[in-house]
Amino acid sequence: MKLIKLDAIDSTNDFLKRLSGEQPLNNFTVVSAENQTHGKGQMGAKWDSETGKNLMFSVIINNLLNNISQIFDLNVAVALSIINTLEKFNIPNLSIKWPNDIMSDNKKISGVLIENTIKNNGEITSIIGIGLNVNQFNFDELPNASSLAVIMKTNFDKEMILNVFIECLKLNCDLFENKLASKLWNSYNNNLFKKGIPMPFSLPNGTQFMGIIQEVNASGKLEVKLENDTIKTFGIKEIQLLY
């Protein structure tokens, strides 16, 4: 693993994209920053973090995906790699809030943003951006967030966590390359946040309803059982879990 450590940057994803456009980069090259001025989350959300307290990094993977239909497979591998990593540090009650927020109990501790670029020759480059709350204690403005330090009441070695994550990611990518994606998918669906529990949901127009999460399908859509026992699928921007 090649690690590029920065004090401050606009976005580790943007930095790694610029760098990969200037020179060829080996798989699992990592850019980490102590502070991001324009950290990004899913659907354009901003990722805020106290300087020096948390892990904010991006990883490049070239040519793992053969076609664009496999994009959510990588999402599955990445989310599970975070789960696998945190299990090694005894973080309790971990789950994946679809599509890729990592939870401990009902608190978000990590988020993922994967950006894919398709070259003219069909090769796909993936930039995986991860924010993991490690040693931050103040979440007054983020009531649904927490950190490893808050949960375990101790500080953690951020670089050790990063190294473990990269090893877990390599193992899961190997499973993916060896046509064992179904094993990853089974684990992903087994770790879904609030799976099998009646929960309230909201649609973009504000309509609320009760449903039960069944699983995430191969297209990355959430399958929810409605009160009339029908199953409906939803894309990322089409539904919000209320909790």
Domain count, the chain: 2
Per-residue pLDDT at 37: 79
Long-range contacts of 98-101 (CB under 8 A, 24+ apart): 98/192, 98/193, 98/213, 98/216, 98/222, 98/241, 99/42, 99/72, 99/75, 99/216, 99/220, 99/236, 100/42, 100/75, 101/42, 101/193
Cα angle for residues 77, 79, 80 (degrees, 5° grid) = 65
Report pLDDT for 225.
98
Together in a domain, 123 and 146: yes
pTM of the model: 0.94
- State the Cα–Cα distance between residues 95 and 101, nearest whole angstrom: 8
- Indicate whether 154 and 226 sit together in one domain: no
Q: Are the CB atoms for 37 and 65 separated by under 8 Å?
A: no
Non-local CB neighbours of 34 within 8 Å, separated by 6+ positions: 6, 7, 8, 51, 52, 56
* Domain shared by 183 and 205, yes or no: no
CA neighbor of 117 nearest in space, from 3, 14, 5: 14
Contact 145, 133 (CB under 8 A): yes
* 214 and 152 fall within a common domain: no
Same domain, 123 and 233: no
How far apart (Å, rounded) are the C-alpha atoms in residues 211 and 188? 20
Whether residue 122 sits in one domain with residue 56: yes
- Look at the alpha carbons of 48, 43, 82, 146 in this order and tell me if their dihedral is positive or negative: positive
Whether residue 148 is found in the same domain as residue 85: yes
Tell me the CATH number at 26.
3.30.930.10
Could you tell me the CATH number of the domain that includes residue 235? 2.30.30
Task: Please tell me the predicted confidence (pLDDT) of residue 121.
Answer: 84
Range of the domain at 78: 3-190
> pLDDT tens, position by position, for the chain (243 residues)?
899 999 999 899 999 999 998 999 999 999 999 998 765 554 455 556 788 999 999 999 998 888 888 899 999 999 999 999 999 999 999 999 999 999 999 999 999 999 999 888 888 999 999 999 999 999 988 889 999 999 999 999 999 999 999 999 999 999 988 889 999 999 999 999 999 999 999 999 999 999 999 999 999 999 999 999 999 999 999 999 999
Give the span between the Cα atoms of 91 and 109, in whole angstroms: 10
Same domain, 182 and 202: no
One domain for residues 105 and 212: no
- Residue 201, amino acid: F
